[in-house]
Amino acid sequence: MYTSPAERLIRSRDARHTVDYLFDFWTALGWTLLSCGFYAYYVYYRLLERMREHNRRRLAFLEAANELAWARAAERGKGDELRPRFERVAADLWTMRRISEEFRDPALWLVIIVFSQGIGVFIAYWLLDTDLVKHSAAEADAERELIAILEALGVSVQWPYPTPPKPPHQYALRVVATICSFGLYSLWWLADLMREGNDHFRWNWASEDAIVTALTSAPASA
| DSSP calls for 68-89 | HHHHHHHHTT-HHHHHHHHHHH
Are the beta carbons of 89 and 66 closer than 8 angstroms?
yes
| Residue 1 pLDDT exceeds 80 | no
The domain segmentation of the chain, as residue ranges, is 5-215
Q: Under DSSP, is residue 91 helix (H, G, I), strand (E, B) or coil?
A: helix
- Tens of pLDDT, residue by residue over 28-84, are 999 999 999 999 999 999 999 999 999 999 999 999 999 999 999 999 899 899 999
The pTM of the full predicted model, rounded to 2 decimals, is 0.91
